[in-house]
Chain A
């Protein structure tokens, strides 16, 4: 069991850390959006008019026939409306609207948190479906690792609260691995399991998508299987004749009244989708994806006839779908209460620490023996460990820095600004692996120092390019920006402290080496 735990951990650690790290950042994806897209730092509209938003989205393609429109109603976390339309000639198009005025905002200059960090958490940006499968495999492996970890932990109850930071690195890293693994076990188990359930609709079609991938045919996702625990509204066919549509506000009010009556508490819609715009068979889908202070997701849905205003479909979730909805709500963390998001953030970081300390323990406990017997194996795992952990954090930091450095309309070799940001992220991540391979254990110190410098630079660049330093952000109520800067500052301080401690350890070791014999930095 120990062998299984060690080798599955080493094999899957890189993917697991990436999924955990990106998932942890996704908890604050809208706040990251506000930091990376300064034009979205606007006040929430007092009473956003859905019809104004709808008209603005439709008018963004003036000489085209819009067929479908969808958008999420503005919230304090996402005050700008990110709409999506499908038009006859333009095809799919994203449109950003200021809900206070209906004014169209310039095209998004960065994928930021919601369109880069979140998809990275789900698919790792690997081509085709490889990313989905990798995350699926890593998730199952993590469940296996959590269970095997409990079995091989000999003193799980007696050492439940034991962390000895002043002992040798091998001991303290194992303590940290055990403590984060044991204490956060229920949270980690539930978050991984719920993640699997959220995407079960896709994973259920695994064999078919695999065949499609290999044979390079069309995707044949089998919704029949997925429908057992999820729900996919059907696409209404257009009638082909034009008709006057009723206001969206009427449809929304109608759906909200039905939910309020059903649940005996005020219910607010949060997502609108309009099908067959201006057609006699127009349909308005009103969703309540994330009810405030309830662990539910994608449960409430009412379809209203866009011409007559009649309720065409009112979804009542089955028992299985209700359980799935609870788990999806748990995983998506869209509750109104901000304290809970911070607790999730701590839980996610604990997962990262658990994986990182596992890596450190593995290399630390083998380095001395491996120096004599199999140096290549440990050197390889060391490089992978450092590149996967601190390397990914550096790449994320650079992603923020490059976002503040590039001008808004910047393009290079026909690459758009968001595409450049993404490529820089992956290029820097690849470089950190090379650096780790060359510098081995010294790379921990180098990369910790790099994280400190990059984090500090990101704060300064945000100040210089937007004028919003922490004090301004707080005075103007931009808590998302202030929080982001505060977290970057904390990261800079912690990383600088770690780099200094590693530096002094290396100095002591160098002195020892001169007088005694060679000893490893962390093998101790």
Chain B
């Protein structure tokens, strides 16, 4: 059960991180929110996404060791990225909360 919970947390970090990397590109952020995106914000969003991916990787490695954790993370990464493609293609507005929260913090 603990394995499953940690996998879910790592999966969530990977999905959110990947989404942030995707949304840092204007062609995807426009699908979610019809506004232009400042260069500085997109760079920060991208690095935030990379940090979350690293966090997911760290959880997998810390729990399962490198040889098995790497496989786990690799599978999570490709599955999460594919899920992001599907969400961006069919239900892009569901990612609006990610961008909205981010833009508020940037504007403050």
State the A residues within 8 Å of B (CB): 158, 160-165, 179-180, 183-184, 186-187, 190, 293-296, 326, 330, 335, 337, 339-340, 343-344, 346-347, 350
Contact = CB atoms under 8 A, between A and B. Distances in A.
User: Which of B28, B67, B84 counts the most A-chain CB atoms under 10 A from its CB?
Assistant: B67
B45 interface: no
B88 interface: yes
B67 A294 contact: yes
B78 A187 contact: yes
Contact of A294 (B68, B78, B90): B68
Nearest to A179: B85
B85 A335 contact: no
B101 interface: no
Contact of B89 (A163, A190, A326): A163
Nearest to A338: B4
B47 to A, nearest CB: 16
A158 B24 CA distance: 11
Interface in B64-100: 64-65, 67-68, 71-72, 74-79, 81-82, 84-86, 88-90
13 contacts: A158-B25, A160-B22, A162-B85, A163-B88, A179-B82, A183-B82, A190-B74, A294-B65, A296-B67, A326-B67, A343-B76, A347-B79, A350-B82
Interface in B9-23: 22
Contacts of B34: none
A164 B89 CA distance: 6
B85 A161 contact: yes
B74 A165 contact: no
B35 interface: no
Nearest to B72: A340
In the A-B complex, the 5 residue pairs with the smallest Cβ-Cβ separation, listed nearest first, are: A343-B75, A163-B89, A161-B22, A183-B81, A187-B78
Contact of B28 (A161, A293, A335, A339): A161
B7 interface: yes
A183 B78 contact: yes
Contact of B85 (A183, A187, A339, A344): A183
Contacts of B74: 186-187, 190
Contacts of A339: 4, 7
B27 interface: yes
A178 to B, nearest CB: 10
A335 B71 CA distance: 11
Contacts of B25: 158, 161
B3 A337 contact: yes
Nearest to A163: B89
B98 to A, nearest CB: 14
Contacts of A330: 71
Contact of B90 (A161, A165, A296): A165
A190 B22 CA distance: 24
B91 to A, nearest CB: 12
A162 B89 CA distance: 7
Contacts of B90: 165
A186 B77 CA distance: 10
Contacts of A337: 3
B64 to A, nearest CB: 7
Contacts of A184: 78, 82
A262 B91 CA distance: 51
Contacts of A161: 22, 25, 28, 81, 84-85, 88
A187 B72 CA distance: 11
Q: Chain A CB within 10 Å — which of B4, B7, B72, B86 has the most?
A: B72
Nearest to A322: B67
A495 B90 CA distance: 19
Nearest to B75: A343
B68 A347 contact: no
B75 A347 contact: yes
Nearest to B3: A337
A343 B7 CA distance: 12
Interface string B29-68: 0000000000000000000000000000000000011011
